[in-house]
């Protein structure tokens, strides 16, 4: 199979038929073998009924439905496990991504041997305050921390080799940083393509303040994982040892100065009345905790755990 088109969605019943027909038109015009995989992320409208109707008309339409809303990252992760195409294209369901971009994205993967191509919505039709400014901040921070020179990490329109999506784990709000996850997995042929961005035709944006905050928190997480994800002891162990050593030396000096004053019969106070003693003790405790955190992190990495992050309660053609 040439292409899997993965479309996560939440309450997009109005746009699904138009998007499906547009994708099919592009696929037929270019003679691609394909599948369209819709992932209903707990919609409360009739999105799933529309997907069921489309699957009855077109055997290439597949669907996954979450019991409740788990988030875009979980939707993508579930779809990646099921996608069979040599090239996997992801796009949003709101018609802001243009299916006419698919042939060029496909060629960049197949003919130019890229591992991943990220779309760049150079000209946007979103609200500047709600999406444009936050996106620019995200992208600048992501470029700085990851070393990837991409302009638009969060663009929903991306193309991947199948082996890329089979070797990354998308969780939390990490869909914004899939290129970074791919780089960390050893896929270095990552490029970008300027894509057409269209104004939303139906429904309302799902972007809110919580996604802005969560995005920055996930950026911190992925920055840490990039450097220390495989060896957390190198960070926590080093910091813990350093802080414990400072606290221990400070406590030792407090005791030595106490003994010197007693030897010289100079007036002195109880060690427990010295505020620096408690600062030293707290420093030692924090150092011990950091060291323990690094040790536990190493143990966790060595114990493989399967975690259920979402529940799929319905499938179509899978």
pLDDT confidence of residue 52? 97
**Residue matched to tokens 């896929």:** 187
Per-residue pLDDT in tens (0 to 9) along the chain, 318 residues? 999 999 999 999 999 999 999 999 999 999 999 999 999 999 999 999 999 999 999 999 999 999 999 999 999 999 999 999 999 999 999 999 999 999 999 999 999 999 999 999 887 666 555 556 767 777 887 888 788 889 998 899 999 999 999 999 898 778 888 998 999 889 999 999 999 887 777 766 655 556 667 767 777 777 777 777 677 888 899 999 999 999 999 999 998 988 898 888 888 888 888 899 999 999 999 999 999 998 888 787 666 555 566 778 888 888
By DSSP bridging, strand 87-90 and strand 3-9 are: parallel
**Residue matched to tokens 């479309």:** 7
d(CA 23, CA 179): 24
d(CA 268, CA 278): 17
pLDDT confidence of residue 312? 84
| CATH fold of 3-229 | Spore Coat Polysaccharide Biosynthesis Protein SpsA; Chain A (3.90.550)
| Dihedral (CA of 136, 218, 95, 116) sign | positive
Helix (H) or strand (E) holding 119: strand 116-120
**Every domain of the chain and the residues it spans:** 3-229, 233-301
pLDDT confidence of residue 194? 93
d(CA 114, CA 103): 14
Tell me if 72 sits within 8 A of 175, measured CB to CB.
Answer: yes
pLDDT confidence of residue 132? 64
The secondary structure of residue 161, as a DSSP letter, is E
pLDDT confidence of residue 222? 72
Could you tell me where the beta strands, DSSP code E, fall in the chain? 3-9, 34-40, 61-66, 87-90, 116-120, 158-161, 190-194, 312-316
pLDDT confidence of residue 131? 57
3-state secondary structure of 251: helix
Tell me the pTM: 0.76
pLDDT confidence of residue 318? 85
d(CA 193, CA 175): 18
Give the Å distances, CA to CA, from 177 to 54, 182, 210, 220.
Answer: 31, 9, 17, 11
Give DSSP secondary structure letters for 113-176: --SEEEEE-SS--S-IIIIIHHHHHHHHHHHHHH----S-TT-S-EEEEHHHHTS----TTGGG
By DSSP bridging, strand 87-90 and strand 158-161 are: antiparallel
Structure tokens at 13: 């019943």
Q: How many residues does the chain have?
A: 318
């Amino acid at each position: 199979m040439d292409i899997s088109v993965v479309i996560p969605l939440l309450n997009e019943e109005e746009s699904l038929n138009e998007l499906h027909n547009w994708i099919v038109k592009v696929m037929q015009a270019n003679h691609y073998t394909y599948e369209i995989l819709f992932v209903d992320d707990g919609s409360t409208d009739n999105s799933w009924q529309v997907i069921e109707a489309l699957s009855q008309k077109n055997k290439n339409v597949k669907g996954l439905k979450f019991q409740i809303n788990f988030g875009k990252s979980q939707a993508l992760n579930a779809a990646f496990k099921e996608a069979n195409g040599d090239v996997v294209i992801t796009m949003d369901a709101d018609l802001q991504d243009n299916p006419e971009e698919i042939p060029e994205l496909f060629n960049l993967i197949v003919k130019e041997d890229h591992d991943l191509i990220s779309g760049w919505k150079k000209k946007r039709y979103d609200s500047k305050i709600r999406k444009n400014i936050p996106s620019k901040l995200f992208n600048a921070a992501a470029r700085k921390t990851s070393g990837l020179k991409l302009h638009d990490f969060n663009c929903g329109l991306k193309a991947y080799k199948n082996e890329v999506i089979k070797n990354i784990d998308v969780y939390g709000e990490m869909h914004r940083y899939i290129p970074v996850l791919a780089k960390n997995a050893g896929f270095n042929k990552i490029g970008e393509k300027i894509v057409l961005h269209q104004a939303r035709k139906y429904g309302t944006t799902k972007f809110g303040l919580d996604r802005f905050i969560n995005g920055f928190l996930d950026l911190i997480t992925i920055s840490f994982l990039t450097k220390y994800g495989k060896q957390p002891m190198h960070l926590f162990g080093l910091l813990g040892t350093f802080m414990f050593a400072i606290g221990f030396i400070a406590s030792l000096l407090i005791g030595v100065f106490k003994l010197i004053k007693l030897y010289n019969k100079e007036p002195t106070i109880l060690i427990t009345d010295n505020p620096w003693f408690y600062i030293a003790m707290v420093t030692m405790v924090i150092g011990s905790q950091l060291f323990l955190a690094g040790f536990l992190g190493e143990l966790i990495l060595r114990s493989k755990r399967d975690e259920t992050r979402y529940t799929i309660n319905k499938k179509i053609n899978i």
